[in-house]
Amino acid sequence: PTARGAQPFALRGLATAGAAGARGWWAQSCAVATDHLEGWRTAAAGWAPSAARSIATSTAASMAKPGNIKEHALLKDWMFEEMGIAKPGSEPRRRRSGAIAVKCGMTAEWNEHGVRVPLTVLWIDDCRVTQVKTQEKEGYTALQLGAGSKKAKRLNRSERGHFAAGDLPFSAELTEFRVSPDAILPVGTAIGASHFSAGQFVDIQGRTIGKGFQGPMKRWGFSGLPASHGTTKKHRAHGSIGNSQDPGRVWKGKKMAGRMGNRKRTVQSVFVYKVDADRNLLYVKGQVPGKAGRFLKITDALRKPPEAPAYPAWGFGDFAEGAPSGVSVAKMDDPFVTQSE
């Protein structure tokens, strides 16, 4: 009986020791977490002026060093509030209107360093605001722009009434641009090439050149079937397209023959090399989607926004006067400068 009575006391002692060990482990974990938070605060005080690259890790934390994890991977919303730092992406981005341009073709020029620069010429042909869409009426804020010209007989009755309501000329192309509430422009405001500046980056959207119905070799770059040893009339085929009874169908998205091109595509961060404000011409570096004569949609670059654009446009707000004229050319880096220099 004595031995039996002593057993519960022994188990009770082990449970007490285990609880004390758990409390010690919890206290140690809390201390480590506190050290990490203090490290984040220290790092924030040191290099937090650039809010876009605000801290994600701390050199004081062994498990969270810069380069080992993605930015802001360990930070929560309440951590940004305690450190007094704006979380990247939390503030709304100011967006101004873009422009509609016509692709004229390609050319080339030599810059100040003697380097040949391939350029695409874009013509902003009579681009103006045709309609304002507000949050109260349409549910979002946007500007509808029109460009080009078209005869009245080429438009239906509703389109003619749409232009007549604003006493505007008939446009050949209409496009919407999402803008911030403080970037709304009145109907009839003209937007020219001076809306963009030489040296900035833009995003250009258009429809690619249509290639018609093409086979898998041209459309997807397949190598085709063997050119000899029994292959008959199947040299440019794609081969097997799936299994047998299970699944008994062809998977969606299978790369096969079909219509190629004529898709809406966007080229991001296109460099604006030259701006001719008098003739409403933009010279951008490289290629853009579509054939010559097609309309393109030009906006400020999302990944490389301009530093001080004319917001919302020339003739309004702080940019009421001083619209540029003539030809302005951007300066490019010297490609011949070596690292040793």
CB 289 within 8 A of CB 207: yes
pLDDT in tens, 13-60: 444 545 555 556 666 666 666 676 666 666 555 544 444 344 444 444
**pLDDT of the residue at 243:** 84
Question: How distant, in Å, are the alpha carbons of 63, 201, 302 from that of 119?
Answer: 48, 14, 21
pLDDT single digits (tens) 318-339: 999 989 999 999 999 998 887 6
Reduce the DSSP state of residue 19 to 3 states and report it. Answer: helix
Residue 128, pLDDT above cutoff 80: yes
Other C-beta atoms closer than 10 Å to the C-beta of 185 total: 20
pLDDT value for 27: 63
pLDDT grade for 269, boundaries at 50, 70 and 90:
very high
Distance of CA 23 to the CA centre of its chain: 49
Token pair for residue 70?
Answer: 């993605």
- 5 against 241, higher pLDDT: 241
What is the structure's pLDDT at 292? 97
Bigger pLDDT: 218 vs 6? 218
198-232 per-position pLDDT tens digit: 999 999 999 999 999 999 999 999 999 998 888 99
Q: Structure tokens of 332?
A: 């490019």
> What is the average per-residue pLDDT within 279-306?
96
Rounded CA-CA distance 226/235 in Å is: 6
C-alpha span between 99 and 313 (Å, rounded): 11
Q: Which pLDDT band holds residue 78 (cuts at 50, 70, 90)?
A: confident
Residue pair 166/128 in contact (Cβ under 8 Å)? The answer is no
